[in-house]
Structure 1
């Protein structure tokens, strides 16, 4: 029996998990990779949500972690973006998956990085570091977002240029996307920034805010955050989220949730 067949034999669906197949894997750098898996017909989610995925663990128990879904809600497959952690219990093995390999998928996605948790506004800022980009890849390809907001901005901060995953797709303003390419050409903006290598935009997100670079061309409107018109989602490093959360609260922004929509949201499942 081959290693792959043996691995498949250890995975069985349950009341909370389905078993899916890895379709493709892309290694962006030594720190980052993405992979897509099959989507069961019964699986429904809102763009921006997360779900549990995993592999067999010790004593026959699944080893599971929460991952934001990077593909839009209309996609026939489910894509994820992950860091590579050499000694991570799940990540060390997950980064080795290949097309055809089996993987666990949770049956119940959830999360607060969804449009329903925000009040209506004009500009939507999606502020991310590292793999925090994932839910915003989903949201940026959702036609509903362009009906709700006149401008949609992804800010992605990484340490090295090679970690700017999906850079070409985002720089093209999602050209070729079957549902949003026309709207994205007019309404979508992408601002990548790097902190440890030379790049056209350098510095952390707070530095871009302070220096006004976050609001530069082609963005229109105020050159600062305004709770009357701006809505914000944040995902990534806990330090970034804590700092910006305090900043936005001081400006009068109110945190939202599925039950009580507000001016900004974070994914509390990841930050505690």
Structure 2
């Protein structure tokens, strides 16, 4: 079981109903790499001060979340409320000053360290799978290793989009070195593509919008989010002779199943 740190909520940003970012005190967390995850936990029925460790563990409700910020005193988590979920309805109710527990040590291999060098880096996500990419983009490593970076964020509705202002600011500063593409599946909106990410790759619309190729010779592709998107993308990229990257069999694809 994780070793827990008693933390507090520092800030809460609501993007739309049920979609939010919590910022918490991370001073008790050990250093980690962008893309790794930590566990968040609450005690829905309160904490029994006299309970032993086993009882407390049974009372604690926790789940892993990729951190949407680099290691620091304040840590961000990009979360969607699942109405019948065990944890997210409780996280949704939290406000600045409220208590929350966080694991002291991060885990996970979805990092730039595990991603091969290439000319282009594609960061493709659905929903809250965008979180690890925000953490990565706030560091210097991707900009030092890749000539061009493309973020692709797919959601159902325009209201589900998040971090747009931050991504736009990066694009304005990193002229020619960064593009971000947003895609909607349930509606249309100015400045976004319409359709599921795999279909947009197959049609050529995604690469056209990003002004960037996605090939074995020039790209590394990170995939995070809906398992159906991951499976479809891996199949499509396989037709381009792109394979999953492993230490003993180098490839171009690194993925994280987000639920």
TM-score by length of 2: 0.87
Matches of 1:66 and 1:202, distance apart in 2: 31
Distance 1:263 1:15, change over 3 A: closer
**Matches of 2:76 and 2:134, distance apart in 1:** 10
Q: 2:62 aligns with which of 61, 64, 68?
A: 64
- Counterpart-to-counterpart distance in 2, 1:15 and 1:217: 42
Q: For residue 195 of structure 2, what is the aligned residue in structure 1?
A: 203
| Correspondence 1:104 to 2:104 | no
Aligned length, in residue pairs: 246
For residue 142 of structure 1, the aligned residue among 130, 139, 142 is 139
Shift of residue 141, structure 1, vs aligned partner: 1.5
CA displacement 1:36-92 (0-9 Å, x = unmatched): 00111552111111111111256533211010100123x431000011112211011
CA contact (8 A) 2:150 2:210 kept: no
Give the 3 Å change call, closer, same or farther, for CA 15–112 of structure 1 in structure 2. closer
Kindly indicate whether the alpha-carbon contact (under 8 Å) linking 2:2 and 2:105 is maintained by their aligned counterparts in 1.
no
User: Which residue of 170, 175, 180 corresponds with 1:173?
Assistant: 170
> Is structure 2 residue 251 aligned with structure 1 residue 262?
yes
> 1:47 corresponds to which residue?
34
Change (3 A) 1:146 1:86: same
RMSD: 2.2
Task: Tell me: CA distance 1:234–1:124, structure 2 relative to 1, closer, same or farther (3 Å).
Answer: same
Q: Which residue of 1 aligns with 2:84?
A: 87
Three-state SS of the structure 1 residue aligned to 2:170 is coil
State the match for 1:189 in structure 2.
179
Structure 2: give runs of 5+ residues left out of the alignment: 46-54
Q: 2:6 maps to what in 1? A: 19
Indicate the residue corresponding to 1:3 in structure 2: none
Deviating more after overlay: 156-165 vs 31-40: 31-40
* Alpha-carbon distance in 2 for matches of 1:169, 1:42: 25
